[in-house]
């Protein structure tokens, strides 16, 4: 058997495998997005595809729409597909950021004191 006769089937396999894997990845992403849209409930914090942060006020399964409260008392109606992701509100992160900022201020003050002492 000649090496050139094996080249064409090998080339086909090398081209088919990436196409197959990318199709599976895309199918998985669509399934995850659909699961997200089906799991939305009033009170969930979400971000739309346009970058708007809002709270889910109501869900209408018949029209495939969702009501979003974008400010106190301001409720708008959107298609469900406009929701990009759920936003997780984490209060612990704010506390950690504050601690880090305090440490940076303390270190800056220490450096300034050391510079002043070295000038004396």
pLDDT at residue 9, as a whole number: 85
Assess contact for 47 and 84: CB atoms under 8 A.
Answer: yes
Distance CA(64)–CA(82), nearest Å, equals: 11
Would you kindly state where each structural domain of the chain is located, as residue ranges? 1-39, 40-88, 90-120
Distance CA(52)–CA(69), nearest Å, equals: 11
Class of residue 83 by CB neighbours under 10 A (exposed 0-12, middle 13-18, buried 19+): buried
Q: What is the pLDDT of residues 79-120, one digit of tens each?
A: 999 999 999 877 665 555 555 555 555 566 666 777 777 665
Give Cα separations from 118 to 58, 65, 103, 105, 110 (angstroms).
Answer: 64, 67, 23, 20, 12
pLDDT at residue 45, as a whole number: 95
Assign 3-state DSSP to the chain and report helix, strand, coil percentages, each to 5.
55, 25, 20
Distance CA(59)–CA(66), nearest Å, equals: 5
* Topology (CATH) of 40-88: SH3 type barrels. (2.30.30)
Q: What is the pLDDT of residues 39-58, one digit of tens each?
A: 999 999 999 999 999 999 99
């Amino acid at each position: 058997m000649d090496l050139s006769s094996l080249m064409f089937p090998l080339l086909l396999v090398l081209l088919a495998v990436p196409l197959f894997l990318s199709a599976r990845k895309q199918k998985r992403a669509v399934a995850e997005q659909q699961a997200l849209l089906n799991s939305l409930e009033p009170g969930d914090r979400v971000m739309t595809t346009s970058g708007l942060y809002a709270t889910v006020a109501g869900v209408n399964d018949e029209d495939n729409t969702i009501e979003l409260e974008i400010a106190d008392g301001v409720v708008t109606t959107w298609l469900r597909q406009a929701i990009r992701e759920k936003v997780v509100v984490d209060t612990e992160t704010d506390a950690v950021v504050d601690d880090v900022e305090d440490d940076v201020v303390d270190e800056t003050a220490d450096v300034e004191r050391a510079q002043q002492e070295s000038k004396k």
